[in-house]
């Protein structure tokens, strides 16, 4: 090992770390021998290699022992520094086997070589990897001209090759993606074209001005037009005139960037009309639309509606038949009672047995009252009964009826009631509500021949959207009145017919079958609903739902009953209008008996002359149905133009609901249905004349 710098040969004076290692290496113990004995060719090549920036190694002798520079160290990994002076085959092992042939050839022939992108697997830092090199070998000739070694130089290009490979892979992937995309586009185009060509639905491309741009073959199949007959033309040329505006609005909507759905009618080339249901959407400066022919669906729907209408008409005629039969039966019985009573009265007068007349009068009057009650029930069933609604407290009304109901149903039935605190108010006709509740209690009694319990409950009920839909009633707040019995209940078959007119399960002569029909009509006319829940052997609950009224309940004047005839107080003047001479005569005599002054006319024109005169009037008493083109309500309204405070009492045999704003009267007006008693006429007149001035619009 050299001891001092001046002993180091010049060719080893530099070379960085490898130069230092080689200067301090004991070469005498190696096949190379002492440095000072190295041949000049070896010295020259080692000096050049150590000072070269390129990766290089001198492969010397038959075994190609390695002498390398700093640049070469990086490729050696953990083989360095043990590789110094060792045969290359030992150092590189399997790797050398891959590259040895050209080196061996160069040693034999003295012909150098250069190879690019040589792939060499290596283990670096304990990890195997593939590396790439540009390598060359230059022969080293000895003094005798023979090849004694090789100068091996190399440049590692692993990074470049890997990057290039990645680029190639990416390029291939992109190429594959493009090919796949092209295939998908081709498939989709083929599918689109196939769908365009074979679809039974109309497909069209139009611009935002409504001009046809493209159409599919379905236009020919469905509507008979060839493409050239459509393209370039406006769509309204082929649409029924009634649908023009709607269609223009639709394609203008798509021009605004929105999808639209529309149904319109296209004319077939043969003149027939086809209903087309469209879905259209914008893209770019055009509208793309698909239309389905729904003509058959619409025709089927129209046919179905026609069938339903025929069914409804048949059901209506069936109901009319039931009404006619029921009316004929009941009114024949009532008329028989009246007719026979009148004949008996006539006979007793001829026989001078006038003392017996009163009993026949009572029979005739009773039949008349029953006929009036039947008429009222019919009007309620048909929802044409004129109501006199008031704000009521249903709890007080029910409480006031309990004694009467208990006496009516008998001692073997317990009647009880429950009322919610803070009960809401409802605005209904109290007498009709009393009548409805009484009917329900009587029905309950008949369902409990062996006795039982009737419960009347009043409470508040709120219907949200879902519960309102289930009950077929508008969403909102309602007063609920329930009548429950512990009777026999109803079968589902009976329950479906419960509201039918004249339908009854009672024996002949024990019921008209109008009770529930009347209740149904009254409840719906009051803006509410009625529902029945029943189970055989358990009982029945009938629920009335009446809209909540936010006002205050009017003061209860006590139960209605017979009152003494109320005469005129000051000889008030009443204008009587009726086209029936008999009625005019009877009312005139009746008013005279009561002390009223009557002005009597036969029609609306004559009455209007009186109303527009200076004649003092306290009351207009008029029939509703009058001749001459002016009915009673029109007369009253015309009269109020001249006399704003005019009180009006309508008398009629048929309460024309449409005339009275769905059965509701204006203030200062009232209706008395024929037939009526002297008491009811006198009481109603006295009530109207005694009212403060009417408040009306």
- pLDDT of residue 51 exceeding 60, the answer is yes
- pLDDT of residue 601 exceeding 50, the answer is yes
Q: Are 633 and 620 in contact (CB under 8 A)?
A: no
- pLDDT of residue 311 exceeding 70, the answer is no
pLDDT, mean of residues 115-131: 84
Of 253-262, 367-376, 647-656, the range with the highest mean pLDDT is 253-262
Quickly state the pLDDT bin for 512 (edges 50, 70, 90): low
pLDDT, mean of residues 314-332: 58
State how far the alpha carbon of 534 is from the alpha carbons of 412, 448, 487, 611, in Å.
Answer: 22, 14, 10, 56
What distance in Å separates the CA atoms of residue 413 and residue 539, rounded to the nearest whole number?
14
User: In the 8-state DSSP scheme, what is residue 130?
Assistant: E
- pLDDT of residue 250 exceeding 60, the answer is yes
What pTM was computed for the model? 0.38
Quickly state the pLDDT bin for 328 (edges 50, 70, 90): low
pLDDT, mean of residues 513-531: 80
State the residue for tokens 């073959």. Answer: 217
| Tokens encoding 435 | 């009548």
What distance in Å separates the CA atoms of residue 388 and residue 665, rounded to the nearest whole number?
7
Quickly state the pLDDT bin for 278 (edges 50, 70, 90): very high
Quickly state the pLDDT bin for 114 (edges 50, 70, 90): very high
- pLDDT of residue 323 exceeding 60, the answer is no
What is the overall mean pLDDT for the chain? 84
**Nearest Cα to Cα of residue 135 among 62, 44, 46, 54:** 54
If you count them, how many residues does the chain have? Answer: 697
How many CA atoms does the CB half-sphere of 127 hold within 13 Å? 4
| Pairwise pLDDT comparison (512 vs 295), residue with the higher score | 295
pLDDT, mean of residues 658-667: 61
pLDDT in tens, 356-410: 888 888 888 887 877 776 666 555 445 445 567 888 898 888 888 887 788 778 8
- pLDDT of residue 560 exceeding 80, the answer is no
Quickly state the pLDDT bin for 696 (edges 50, 70, 90): very low
pLDDT, mean of residues 42-56: 90
CA 505 and chain centroid, separation: 42
Which pLDDT belongs to residue 366? Answer: 80
Q: Are 647 and 601 in contact (CB under 8 A)?
A: no
What distance in Å separates the CA atoms of residue 161 and residue 316, rounded to the nearest whole number?
94
State how far the alpha carbon of 117 is from the alpha carbons of 72, 120, 132, in Å.
Answer: 17, 9, 5
3-state SS track over 166-224: HHHHHHHHHHHHHHHHHHHHHHHHHHHHHHHHHCCCEEEEEECCCEEEEECCHHHHHHC
Which pLDDT belongs to residue 654? Answer: 58
Q: Which of 209-213, 217-221, 409-413, 423-427 has the lowest mean pLDDT?
A: 409-413
What distance in Å separates the CA atoms of residue 117 and residue 131, rounded to the nearest whole number?
9
- The H-assigned helical ranges of 562-677 are 581-594, 604-611, 632-642
The Cα angle at residue 385 between residues 379 and 389, in degrees rounded to 5 = 145
Q: Are 674 and 652 in contact (CB under 8 A)?
A: yes
Give the contacts of 587 (CB within 8 A, at least 6 positions apart).
Answer: 576, 578, 598, 600, 621, 681
Quickly state the pLDDT bin for 568 (edges 50, 70, 90): low
Quickly state the pLDDT bin for 314 (edges 50, 70, 90): low
| Pairwise pLDDT comparison (25 vs 326), residue with the higher score | 25
Q: 419: how many CB neighbours lie within 10 A of its CB?
A: 16
Which pLDDT belongs to residue 4? Answer: 42
State how far the alpha carbon of 359 is from the alpha carbons of 78, 355, 372, in Å.
Answer: 141, 9, 20
What distance in Å separates the CA atoms of residue 528 and residue 521, rounded to the nearest whole number?
10
Which pLDDT belongs to residue 2? Answer: 47
Quickly state the pLDDT bin for 509 (edges 50, 70, 90): very low
Percent of the chain with pLDDT over 70: 86
Q: Which of 76-90, 346-360, 367-381 has the lowest mean pLDDT?
A: 367-381
């Amino acid at each position: 090992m050299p001891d001092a710098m001046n002993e180091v040969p010049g060719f080893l004076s530099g070379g960085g770390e490898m130069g230092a290692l080689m200067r301090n290496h004991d070469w005498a113990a190696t096949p190379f021998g002492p440095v000072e004995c190295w041949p000049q060719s070896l010295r020259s090549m080692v000096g050049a290699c150590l000072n070269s920036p390129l990766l290089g190694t001198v492969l010397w002798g038959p075994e190609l022992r390695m002498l390398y520079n700093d640049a070469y160290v990086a490729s050696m990994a953990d083989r360095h520094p043990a590789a110094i002076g060792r045969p290359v085959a030992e150092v590189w092992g399997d790797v050398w086997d891959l590259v040895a042939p050209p080196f061996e050839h160069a040693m034999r022939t003295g012909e150098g070589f250069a190879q690019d992108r040589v792939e060499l697997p290596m283990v670096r830092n304990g990890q195997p990897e593939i590396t790439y090199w540009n390598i060359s070998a230059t022969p080293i000739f000895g003094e005798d001209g023979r090849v004694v070694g090789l100068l091996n130089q190399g440049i590692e290009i692993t990074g470049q090759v890997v990057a290039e490979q990645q680029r190639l892979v990416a390029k291939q992937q992109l190429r594959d993606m493009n090919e796949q995309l092209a295939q998908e586009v081709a498939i989709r185009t083929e599918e689109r074209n196939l769908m365009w060509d074979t679809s039974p639905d109309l497909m069209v491309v139009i611009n935002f001005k409504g001009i046809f741009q493209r159409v599919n073959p379905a236009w020919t199949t469905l509507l008979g037009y060839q493409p050239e007959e459509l393209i370039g033309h406006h769509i309204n040329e082929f649409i029924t005139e009634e649908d023009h505006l709607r269609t223009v609005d639709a394609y203008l909507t798509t021009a605004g960037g929105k999808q639209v759905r529309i149904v319109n009618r296209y004319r077939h080339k043969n003149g027939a009309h086809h209903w087309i249901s469209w879905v259209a959407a914008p893209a770019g400066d055009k509208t793309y639309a698909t239309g389905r022919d729904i003509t058959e669906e619409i025709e089927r729907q129209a046919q179905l509606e026609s069938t339903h209408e025929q069914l409804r008409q048949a059901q209506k005629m069936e109901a009319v038949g039931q009404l006619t039969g029921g009316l004929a039966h009941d009114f024949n019985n009532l008329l028989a009672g009246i007719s026979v009573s009148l004949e008996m009265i006539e006979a007793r007068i001829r026989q001078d047995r006038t003392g017996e007349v009163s009993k026949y009068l009572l029979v005739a009057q009773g039949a008349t009252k029953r006929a009036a009650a039947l008429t009222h029930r019919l009007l309620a069933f048909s929802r044409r009964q004129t109501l006199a609604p008031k704000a009521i407290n249903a709890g007080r009304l029910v409480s006031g009826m309990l004694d009467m109901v208990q006496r009516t149903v008998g001692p073997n039935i317990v009647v009880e009631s429950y009322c919610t605190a803070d009960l809401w108010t409802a605005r209904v006709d109290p007498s009709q509500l009393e009548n409805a509740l009484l009917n329900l209690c009587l029905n309950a009694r008949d369902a409990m021949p062996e006795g039982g319990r009737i419960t009347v409950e009043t409470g508040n009920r709120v219907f949200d959207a879902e519960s309102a839909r289930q009950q077929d009633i508008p969403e909102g707040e309602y007063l609920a009145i329930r009548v429950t019995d512990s009777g026999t209940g109803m079968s589902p078959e009976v329950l479906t017919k419960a509201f039918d007119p004249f339908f009854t399960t009672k024996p002949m002569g024990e019921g008209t079958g109008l009770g529930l029909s009347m209740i149904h009509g009254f409840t719906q006319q009051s803006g509410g609903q009625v529902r029945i829940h029943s189970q055989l052997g358990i009982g029945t609950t009938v629920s009335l739902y009446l809209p909540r009224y936010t006002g205050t309940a009017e003061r209860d004047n006590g139960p209605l009953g017979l009152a003494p005839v109320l005469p005129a107080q000051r000889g008030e003047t009443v204008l009587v209008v009726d086209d029936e001479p008999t009625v005019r005569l009877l009312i005139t005599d009746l008013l005279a008996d009561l002390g009223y002054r009557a002005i009597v006319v036969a029609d609306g024109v004559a009455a209007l002359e009186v109303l527009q005169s200076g004649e003092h009037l306290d009351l207009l008493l008029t029939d509703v149905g009058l001749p001459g083109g002016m009915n009673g309500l029109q007369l009253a309204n015309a009269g109020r133009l001249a006399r704003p405070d005019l009180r009006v009492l309508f008398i009629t045999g048929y309460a024309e609901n449409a005339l009275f704003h769905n059965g509701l009267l204006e203030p200062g007006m009232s209706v008395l249905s024929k037939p009526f008693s002297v008491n009811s006429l006198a009481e109603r007149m006295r009530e109207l004349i005694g009212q403060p001035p009417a408040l009306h619009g």
